[in-house]
Structure 1
Amino acid sequence: MAPTPKELVDAARKQITEVSPEQAQQRVEAGAIALDVREAEELAEGHIPDATHIPRGFLEFKASDHEALKSRDTPICVYCMGGGRAALAAQTLKQLGYTNVVSIQGGFEGWKKAELPMQVPAKDEEEE
Structure 2
Amino acid sequence: YRVESKHPIRYTIREGDVLPLLVGSGGRVLAAFSGQEGEPYETIRNTYNYISIGDRDPQTAGISAPVFGPGRTLLGALTLAGPSTRVDAAFLERMKRPLLEAAARATRAFGEDAFMLDVAALNAGAGN
TM-score by length of 2: 0.28
Higher relative contact order (CA 8 A, sep 6+): 1
TM-score by length of 1: 0.28
Is the strand fraction higher in 1 or 2? 2
